[in-house]
Amino acid sequence: MTHSRLTPSLVLFAAFLLFLPSLRSGLEAQFVARDPGPRGAPVGAGNPIAGLNNSQTAFFEDGMLRFGEVVSVSGTLLGEVSPGLGPGFNSNSCGSCHSQPATGGTSPSTTAYPFVGPNPQVAVATLDGATNTVPFFITLDGPVREPRFKYLLASNGTLSNVRDGGVHNAFTIQGRVDATMVFGMTGGLQTCQLPQPDFQQMNHLGNLIFRIPTPVFGAGFIENIPEATLVANLQSNGTMKAALGISGHFNRNPNDGTISRFGWKAQNKSLGLFAAEAESVEMGVSNEVFSDERGYPPVQPPAECLFNGTPEDHTNMQAGNDGAQATSNAVEFANFMRFLDQPRPACSGSGCPQNVQNGRSVFNSVGCALCHTPSLQTAGSSFSTQLSNAQANLFSDLAVHHMGSGLADDIIQGTAGPDEFRTAPLWGLGQRVFFLHDGRTQDLVQAIEQHSSAGSEANGVVNNYHHLSEAQKQDLLDFLRSL
């Protein structure tokens, strides 16, 4: 038989048979649910709560300015007006790490939002003559990262079994023009010599973990949800939670025993405490709450790296009665965060497109909402009526849950164990770029899949998610990106 003797219809039939398998799998693969990616303009966060009065607005604006201020060692370099940077630091202003999609947010990314710029930690490493090398886990298009070590090293350089868990500094002030001081008529010289930690070695020892910044939009609402409301919410839907393997408990402040709620493990009690601690651990600025200079705990900072009296940030006694001017930076950071409004979703309720409305029902029906509580009510607030008895649409129970071996970072903070994390609030998720505590993914599908591993309380819910049709999964993802 030659080619010429094949009838045209036979050729067609042969071609059909040949392509049938790929046609069939093509039809099946035709639709796979995907993260639609970060939502574009308008930016739904970064404004003050609507309706603040003039003096509250003045505190917000002053706080925002200070939140964005760049800190230097002496506070005298051009454009770097606040003193106290270092000896160790992770960046040089609150706003550098909390910037996306607006001041108060989280890790910037040029890929999704060119206007917020790349990871600021690359430039800050060598700013003003600093001699830091950029550690391997910090890249221009990756998330801002804060390193933590799980255990202390023994004197012979191996891992000890004593837990560390604290924040360490990616950078030091060594080499900066303002980390050298000539003093007196003698012309004596004080120069800071302080090498960076050996991150390669820590990584090699399996001792290194990362945290990315959590956004602070709506933080004043989170601060003001009463303990009774949190406890009642965690106890609600008990049968359903038990059937799915969800329990959870609160992290509590070790000193006064009340629920703590900020940070990836809900390790910090309040905005005042978090602001002061961040000022100390992220920028190296001593303040009225964390009053000494920090070295590489438990190792003290070298004396030649200390250039200022302590605390570096403090109440301004010269300001007399001028409210916002008299307060320390740490207090003003907290006021700014307190008055930042909760993120605005793209739409609400029946005003949302059908797919988003469907997605919200899927979110409830598969059990996401059993941890990610859509809304909780605040108590009366002495700061502003807007923070009083308000609905905080945070999508979190503020409890910590076992999240399994895949997410575990082997860090204990308060009563939050090695694999326990605070249910991450999902408000503002639509305009976020990096997800999960270490910023391991930019893909919401991955963020959901990662909830599932040995020992995770979310395994039952992820199993429900796996049983959804691709169309239902898509509605869920569209809903998440509307937040």
Q: How far is CA 93 from CA 80, 238, 317, in A?
A: 10, 43, 23
271 touches ligand HEC by CB under 6 A: yes
Size of the site for ligand HEC (CB under 6 A): 53
CA–CA distance, 78 with 122 (Å, rounded to integer):
20
Q: What is the Cα gyration radius of the chain?
A: 26
Candidates 263, 284, 345, 374: give the one binding ligand HEC (CB under 6 A): 263
447 touches ligand HEC by CB under 6 A: yes
User: For residues 68 and 45, is the Cβ–Cβ distance under 8 A?
Assistant: no
Is the Cβ of residue 344 or residue 372 nearer to ligand HEC in the bound state?
372
CA–CA distance, 171 with 174 (Å, rounded to integer):
9
403 touches ligand HEC by CB under 6 A: yes
Candidates 45, 216, 352, 416: give the one binding ligand HEC (CB under 6 A): 216
CB of 316 to ligand HEC, least distance (A): 17
- For residue 355, what are the contacts with CB-CB under 8 A and spacing of at least 6? 474, 475, 478, 479
Is the Cβ of residue 301 or residue 414 nearer to ligand HEC in the bound state?
414
CB of 219 to ligand HEC, least distance (A): 6
| Angle, alpha carbons 293-155-416 (nearest 5°) | 60
Per-residue buried b or exposed e for 31-70, using 16+ beta carbons within 10 Å of the residue's own CB: eebebeebbeeebbbbbbbeebeeebeebbebbbebbbbb
Is the Cβ of residue 151 or residue 171 nearer to ligand HEC in the bound state?
171
219 touches ligand HEC by CB under 6 A: yes
Site string for ligand HEC, 405-444 (x = CB under 6 A): --x-------------x-xx-x--x-----xxx------x
283 touches ligand HEC by CB under 6 A: yes
Q: Which tokens in the block code for residue 341?
A: 């409004």
CB of 112 to ligand HEC, least distance (A): 14
Candidates 49, 85, 97, 331: give the one binding ligand HEC (CB under 6 A): 97
User: For residues 149 and 164, is the Cβ–Cβ distance under 8 A?
Assistant: yes
370 touches ligand HEC by CB under 6 A: yes
CA–CA distance, 335 with 65 (Å, rounded to integer):
12
Residues in contact with ligand HEC by the rule CB under 6 A: 90-91, 94, 96-98, 144, 146, 211-214, 216, 219, 222, 246, 262-264, 271, 274-275, 278-279, 282-283, 333, 337, 366-368, 370-372, 401, 403, 407, 421, 423-424, 426, 429, 435-437, 444, 447-448, 451, 457-458, 461, 465
